[in-house]
């Protein structure tokens, strides 16, 4: 006879897997619907522009190049630390979850895929880190319109990830949350 604690644990595990499967299925369905509905309405060139503007291979060298200029902003070192934190944290989480990218976009061209994993979105984490960092460090002091533009860019870039079929909605949401959290960590602990 099987002990009741083993049966209860098996039931809990089955329910947990069922819930997880339901969430993933719902996320896939919503993401594919959004992708199918809007991807032909918004020009792909605009979506690709957003994609490239948030690529780590552009943002990090650009930020690093500011380091060699004679007038270095005081927030540059924390910003570089934050970009590296983002790269490490997102890479770690992706390697743990290993969620495949959307099946309805088998052709990832023209973007060069750095990895094959979808959760969380590195582009979303990066742009929301930049937006959160800009807000917390008052990068655009006295220019609320520019700060608004950075947040709008972050939102549009994140949405473009779903519209291009690169990520699921939950990937983008999680990436955005990671980005804001990273900005708070840098502001609180890594800005020395």
Q: Is 123 an active-site residue?
A: yes
* Strand ranges, E, within 14-135: none
> Which token pair is 89?
């944290």
Token pair 């699921």: residue: 168
Q: Which of 21, 39, 103, 167 is catalytic?
A: 167
Residue 131 in contact with residue 137, Cβ under 8 Å? no
CA distance linking residue 150 with residue 44, whole number of Å: 21
CA distance linking residue 108 with residue 87, whole number of Å: 20
CA distances in angstroms from 110 to 28, 31, 155, 165, listed in the order given = 23, 20, 22, 12
Residue 119 in contact with residue 174, Cβ under 8 Å? yes
Q: Is 35 an active-site residue?
A: no
Active site residues: 123, 167
């Amino acid at each position: 006879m099987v002990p009741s604690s083993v049966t209860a644990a098996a039931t809990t595990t089955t329910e947990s897997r069922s819930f997880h499967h339901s969430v993933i299925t719902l996320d896939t369905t919503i993401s594919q619907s959004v992708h199918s509905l809007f991807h032909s309405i918004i020009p792909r060139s605009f979506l690709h522009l957003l994609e490239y503007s948030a690529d780590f291979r552009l943002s990090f060298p650009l930020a690093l190049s500011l380091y060699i200029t004679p007038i270095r902003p005081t927030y540059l070192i924390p910003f570089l630390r934050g970009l590296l934190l983002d790269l490490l944290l997102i890479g770690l989480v992706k390697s743990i979850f290993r969620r495949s990218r959307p099946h309805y976009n088998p052709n990832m061209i023209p973007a060069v895929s750095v990895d094959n994993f979808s959760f969380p979105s590195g582009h979303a984490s990066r742009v929301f880190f930049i937006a959160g960092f800009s807000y917390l460090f008052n990068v655009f002091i006295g220019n609320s319109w520019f700060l608004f533009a950075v947040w709008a860019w972050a939102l549009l870039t994140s949405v473009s990830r779903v519209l291009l079929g690169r990520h699921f909605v939950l990937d983008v949401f999680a990436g955005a949350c990671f980005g804001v959290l990273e900005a708070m960590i840098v502001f609180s602990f890594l800005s020395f």
